[in-house]
Structure 1
C-alpha cells in the first residue's frame, strides 16, 4: 500500500476514534445532565408546592375536616417555570389521585432515529424516579415525583449528539485535509529517493540524491549516495576485470588455434599423405589398401573438424577482413554444415565501418554465441541474424539480434547447461550495453544494444 494512503487511513481511523469518544462522552454527559435536571426540578416543584400549601393553609383557612391537607392550585405557569424541559412531575396528595405535569415535551429537538433509540435504551436503560416530600414538617401533605420523559430525553440526547457531530465532523474534515497536505509535503522526498533508487537499479551511478532538512530522509539520502559510489567503483572494477578476462581469452584462443594448426594440422596432413602412399604401394594387398583408405578418410574428417574449430577460435578474421565480412563468413560456415537443416540468414542495416576493433570482436563473439544457442537449444528451420547501426539516445550504437523458429522457451533457455547466455551478458555489460531475451512468435529472440565508444575509452557504468 502507498505510504501516503496508509498514513491518511491511519489518520482517518484516529479521527473516527476521537469522534466516537466524543459522541460517547456527550451521551454520558447528557444522560447525567437530564438526571440532574430531573432532581433539581423535583426540588424546585416541592419547594413551590410547599409555599403554595402554607399559603392555602394560613391565608384561606384551608384546613377542613374533609381535607386534612389543602390542595393548592399548582398547575400554573409559575410551576411550569420551575420544571426543566422534558421532565414530568407527579404530585401525589394524600388520599387524592396523582396529578402529572410535563414541561415542553414536544419542543425538544427532532425525533431520533430508531437505531439511536435502540442503542440509547440498550446502553442507559430506564431513568430513576426521584421523590421529594411536599413538606418535611407535614408528611401527610403528599409526595412529589420527577422523572425525565423517555422520548424527550432521547430527542435531547440526539440533538446534542447531532450538534457535536456536525461541529466535530467539520473540524475533523478540516484537520484531516490539512494533515493530508502536510503528510504529502513531508513525503515528497520519498518520491525523489525512489526515483533515485530506480535510476540506480538501471545502472545510472552518476546520479546523487540531494540533502534534506528532515534528519531521517537526509540519512537515507547519504546512505544511498554512499551505496551508489561504492557500486560505481565495484562496477568499474568488474568491467575492467571482465575486459581483461576477454582479452586473455582471445589470446588463449589465438595460441590454441596456432598450436592446433601448426602441430595437429600438420600431423593430420602427414597421416593422410602416409595413408595415400601405403594405399599406392599395397596394390597386391587389398586388405591393406582398404585400411589405408579408411585412415585417409578419417584424417580428412578430422581435418574438417579441425578447420571448424579453428574458425571458431580464430579472431584474426575480424581484425583482417572487418566485421561485415567476418559475419558473412560466420553465417556461410553455418549454412555449409551438411548435418544442419536450418537456413541461416544475415541482414546488415547501415555501415559497420568505423566500429572499434575491440567492440567489433565482441559483436562477432556475441553473434557467434547467439547462433550456437539457436542451433543447440531447439530445432530451427530458419535463423536470422540482424546487425544494425542505430542512434540510441543520441549515441552511435550497434543493435544485434538473433531470432529463430525452433520453438524454444525462455524457461528452457534460462535453465540450459553452459555459460552461453552468461557470457553474452557479460560481454554486453562490459561494453556498457543492454541485453534482452524475449519470446518470439515461433521461438526465442535475443537482442543486444551496444554503444560505440572510442577505443581508448572504457565504460564507466554498466546498466543491468
Structure 2
C-alpha cells in the first residue's frame, strides 16, 4: 500500500473517531437536557397547581380542615402551555382520582429502532420527578413528571442527526482538502522515485530539483551529491580500466612479437632440420627417418597452434585492412577451421560504415566477436552463429554488435576462474561508456553491446588525465 493511501486511511480513521465522539457527546447532552426539562416541568406544574389550590381555598363553602376542594378542570390552555411536547405529568389531588396530561404528544417522526435500543442501553429509562403541592402547611396533592420514552429518543435522535450531519459535511470537506494537501506535499516522492529508477539503470546524469519542503530538499541534495560522487568514481574506474586494457593489449603485442620472432623461428628451424634428417636417413636408418618425419608433423601442428594464438593475441588485420574486413577474416577462419558440413556455420552482417570507427571501439568490437564465437563453440552445440554489426546515428551515434547462436550456451558469468572472457568484455564495453548484455535467447545465447561514438573523445581525455 502506498504512503498516500495509508495517510488517507489514517485521516479517515481520525474523522470517523471524531464523528463518533461528537455523536456520543450529543447523545449525552440530549439526555441531560431531557432530564433537566423533566425537572423544570415538574417545578412549573407544582407552582401552577399551588396557585390553583389557593384560588379554590378562597371559594365560598370550602372552609375547614376537612373541606373538599371543588377544583375546576385543570387541563386548561395555561396548564398545557407549561408542559412541553414529549413530557407527561400526573396530578393527584388529595382524595381525588389521579389525572395525567401530556404536552402535545411526541413530535413528528420516530427514531430508528437501533438508536432507541442503543439509547436505552446506554442511559436506561428516565426516572419520574415527583413534587408535593402544599397550601400553607397542608399537602393537597402530588405531581409526577416524566419524559415519554419514544419522544425522548426522537429528540435525542434529532439532535444527534443534526450534529453528526453538520460534522460529517465539515469532515468530508476537511478530508478532501487534507487529501489534496497531502497529495501535493508528497508529489516530490514521485520525482525522487523516478530519479532512483534512472540511477538504478545506470544514468548517473540524473539530478533532483531543489524542493520547497526542507526535508525533501535535504534528500535531493544528498541524492545529487551521491550521483556526483558515483559519476566521478565511475569515470575514474573506467579510466583505470581503459588503461589496464591498453597495458594488456601492449603486453599481448609484445608477447605475440616475441612468440613470432623467437618461438616461430625455432619451430621453422626444427621443421627444416627434421625434414633434412628424414631425407638423409631414409636409406640407412628408416626408423630415424620416421621419427624425424613425426617431429616435423608435430612441429607443423605447433606452428598452426602458434598462428592461432598469435591471431588471438594481436589481430593484425585491424591495423592493416580495417574492422569490417578483419571481422570477415575472423568468420572465414572459423568456417575454414570447422569445415563444411561438419559443424556450425558462421555468418557476418554489417550495416553502415565502420571505416571511421575509433581504434578503441574497433578493438572492443573485434574482441567481442572473437570471444562470442569462442564462447558459443566451447559451451554449446550450435548449428548457426551470427555476428551483426550496425552503425546507428539516432538517437545518438553508436555502433551495436550482436553475437547470437542457437546451440544453448552459457550466458551467465560463472563464479571463480571461469567466465573471465564475458567479464572482460563487460569491463571493456563499460569502460568506453557502453552497455553490455549476455542473455539466453530461445535455445541459444545472445551477446550484445552498444558503444557510443561520442564518448570516445571524452574517455580518452579522462584516461589521459588519470
TM-score with structure 1 setting the length: 0.88
Which whole-Å CA distance do the structure 1 matches of 2:66 and 2:123 have between them?
A: 45
The 3 A distance-change label for structure 1 pair 118 and 267 is farther
Deviations 1:247-281 (A, max 9, x none): 11111111222222223333333333343334331
Please tell me whether the aligned partners of residues 317 and 326 of structure 1 are also in contact (alpha carbons under 8 angstroms). yes
What secondary structure is seen at the aligned counterpart in 2 of 1:59? coil
What secondary structure is seen at the aligned counterpart in 2 of 1:190? helix
Aligned counterpart, 1:236: 235
The 3 A distance-change label for structure 1 pair 44 and 409 is farther
Q: Structure 2 stretches of 5 or more lacking a match?
A: none
What secondary structure is seen at the aligned counterpart in 1 of 2:237? helix
The 3 A distance-change label for structure 1 pair 63 and 348 is farther
Aligned counterpart, 1:403: 404
CA deviation after TM superposition for structure 1 residue 349, in Å: 0.9
Matched, 1:421 2:422: yes
What secondary structure is seen at the aligned counterpart in 1 of 2:338? coil
Q: Structure 1 stretches of 5 or more lacking a match?
A: none
Of 377, 380, 398, which residue of structure 2 is paired with 1:378?
380
Aligned counterpart, 1:457: 458
The 3 A distance-change label for structure 1 pair 75 and 357 is same
CA deviation after TM superposition for structure 1 residue 234, in Å: 1.0
Mapping of 1:47-446 within 5 angstroms? 47-59=47-59, 61=61, 73-94=73-94, 96-108=96-108, 110-135=109-134, 140-280=139-279, 281-338=281-338, 341-393=343-395, 395-408=396-409, 412=412, 417-446=418-447
The 3 A distance-change label for structure 1 pair 8 and 39 is same
Which whole-Å CA distance do the structure 2 matches of 1:362 and 1:325 have between them?
A: 15
CA deviation after TM superposition for structure 1 residue 95, in Å: 5.2
CA deviation after TM superposition for structure 1 residue 207, in Å: 4.4
The 3 A distance-change label for structure 1 pair 137 and 306 is farther
Please tell me whether the aligned partners of residues 432 and 456 of structure 2 are also in contact (alpha carbons under 8 angstroms). no
What secondary structure is seen at the aligned counterpart in 2 of 1:403? strand
CA deviation after TM superposition for structure 1 residue 390, in Å: 0.9
CA deviation after TM superposition for structure 1 residue 244, in Å: 0.6
Moved more, 268-277 or 231-240: 268-277
What secondary structure is seen at the aligned counterpart in 2 of 1:457? helix
What secondary structure is seen at the aligned counterpart in 1 of 2:390? strand
Deviations 1:229-249 (A, max 9, x none): 212211111111111111111
The 3 A distance-change label for structure 1 pair 231 and 102 is same
Which whole-Å CA distance do the structure 1 matches of 2:63 and 2:437 have between them?
A: 115
Please tell me whether the aligned partners of residues 86 and 103 of structure 1 are also in contact (alpha carbons under 8 angstroms). yes
TM-score with structure 2 setting the length: 0.88
CA deviation after TM superposition for structure 1 residue 363, in Å: 1.4
What secondary structure is seen at the aligned counterpart in 1 of 2:34? helix
Please tell me whether the aligned partners of residues 403 and 448 of structure 2 are also in contact (alpha carbons under 8 angstroms). yes
Which whole-Å CA distance do the structure 2 matches of 1:18 and 1:353 have between them?
A: 77
Please tell me whether the aligned partners of residues 380 and 410 of structure 2 are also in contact (alpha carbons under 8 angstroms). no
Which whole-Å CA distance do the structure 1 matches of 2:53 and 2:333 have between them?
A: 131
Moved more, 94-103 or 209-218: 94-103
Please tell me whether the aligned partners of residues 38 and 84 of structure 1 are also in contact (alpha carbons under 8 angstroms). no
Deviations 1:12-62 (A, max 9, x none): 222222212111111111121111111211222222222222322333655
